[in-house]
Amino acid sequence: MKATNYRGWKQPSGKDSGTFGNDCLELNMIDEETSAFRDNPPGLTDLLNSSSVGITGIGGIGSNVAASLIRAGIGKLVFADFDSVELHNLNRQFFFRDQIGYPKVEALRYNLELINPDAEIEIHNRLIDSENACSIFAGCDVLVEAVDSEETKIMLLESWLEGLPRKPVFSCSGIAGFGRTDSIRVDRRQNLTIVGDQESDLSLGTLSSRIAIVAAMMANEIIEYLVQRNS
């Protein structure tokens, strides 16, 4: 059984628009009996669907980690942030121009649900501090630290590693600049995994390509952990 998805489709302009338009409609035919995760590695989809990940900070790293996990088939995401979408976010964060001014948590939930409307997404439009850092994410299998402030980063890691000692934490450090792909590495330390070059400062600026590499590596590490935990 097939259903036509017209959402987001616009008739192109130009003399050949009629033919091109038909191609667009054909590409938007959805087979309702085919899973979006059909091409996942065997056995991975059910495992990820039963897993949950908590993310603090949904800027460049957090929003892209969330997108990668949703595309992989993660069943539940819990994320917190108190910022709104701004124009300068669009060079690296998973938001769009028409979402400027909206709370990031609401905008990201909307974007992720376009990919997988069946995923459970719990949002917290609030500042995370030492008083609530553990309670909000207590039900998650994995924790992701993706904040910019060094002070907040330290607070989160200390709170989680002390208050939720059995939950693995995935963090980032050294994500700025461009190029130098080989400098990005994974540092695994018991319950803490750090991805980045661990030296570049945000004063160097941030770029979509480098941010995406770090975020994808973090998502890949999270998926690998979840597989190993259940093997």
State the CATH number of the domain containing residue 113. Answer: 3.40.50.720
Same domain? 26 vs 68: no
pLDDT digits (tens, 9 = 90+) for 159-185: 999 999 999 999 999 999 999 999 999
Average pLDDT over residues 17-22: 40
Cα(89)–Cα(97) distance, integer angstroms: 9
16 and 119 both lie in a single domain? no
Q: Are residues 69 and 15 part of one domain?
A: no
Mean pLDDT of the chain: 88
120-134 pLDDT tens trace: 999 999 999 999 999
Say if CB 161 and CB 169 are below 8 A apart: yes
Q: Are residues 6 and 85 in the same domain?
A: no
Between 168 and 2, the more confident residue is 168
- Indicate whether 136 pLDDT > 60: yes
pLDDT at 12: 35
pLDDT band at 11 (very low <50, low <70, confident <90, very high): very low
Instruction: Please check whether residues 52 and 10 belong to one and the same domain.
Output: no
Residues 17 and 69 in one domain: no
In a domain, 36, yes or no: no
Does residue 123 form part of some domain?
yes
Q: How far is CA 157 from CA 84, 185, 221, in A?
A: 24, 19, 18
What is the rounded end-to-end Cα distance, in angstroms, of the chain? 36
48 and 82 assigned to the same domain: yes
Strand partners, 84: 103
Q: Which residue has the tokens 């750090």?
A: 194
Strand order in the sheet with 142-145: 120-124, 76-80, 52-56, 142-145, 169-172, 192-196, 185-189
Number of domains in the chain: 2
Q: What is the pLDDT of residue 7?
A: 41
| Secondary structure (DSSP) of the chain | -EEE--TT--PPPSTTHHHHHHHHHHHTEEETTS-TTTTSPTTHHHHHHT-EEEEE--SHHHHHHHHHHHHHT-SEEEEE---B--GGGGGTSS--GGGTTSBHHHHHHHHHHHH-TTSEEEEE-S---TTTHHHHHTT-SEEEE--S-HHHHHHHHHHHHHHSTTS-EEEE----SS--GGG-EEEEETTEEEEE-S---GGG---HHHHHHHHHHHHHHHHHHHHHHT-
What confidence score (pLDDT) does residue 103 get?
98
**Do both 24 and 90 map to the same domain?**
no
User: Does 23 score more than 80 pLDDT?
Assistant: no
Q: How much is the pTM? A: 0.86
Q: Are residues 27 and 66 in the same domain?
A: no
Domain-embedded: residue 109: yes
Q: Which residue has the tokens 């501090």?
A: 129
Residue 134 lies in a domain: yes
Q: Which is nearest to 107 in space by CA: 48, 50, 66?
A: 66
Position 83 in a domain: yes
Instruction: Using pLDDT thresholds of 50, 70 and 90, give the confidence band for residue 30.
Output: very low
- pLDDT confidence of residue 198: 94
Percent of the chain with pLDDT over 70: 86
DSSP-derived secondary structure for 29-80: EEETTS-TTTTSPTTHHHHHHT-EEEEE--SHHHHHHHHHHHHHT-SEEEEE
Is the same domain home to 55 and 104?
yes
39 domain-assigned: no
* Confidence label for 34 from pLDDT (cuts 50, 70 and 90): confident
Query: Same domain for 116 and 16?
Result: no
Is 37 a member of any domain?
no
The domain of 10 spans: 2-31
Residues 6+ apart with CB under 8 A from 10: none
- Amino acid identity of 151? E
User: For residue 156, is it within any domain?
Assistant: yes
73 plus 187 within the same structural domain: yes
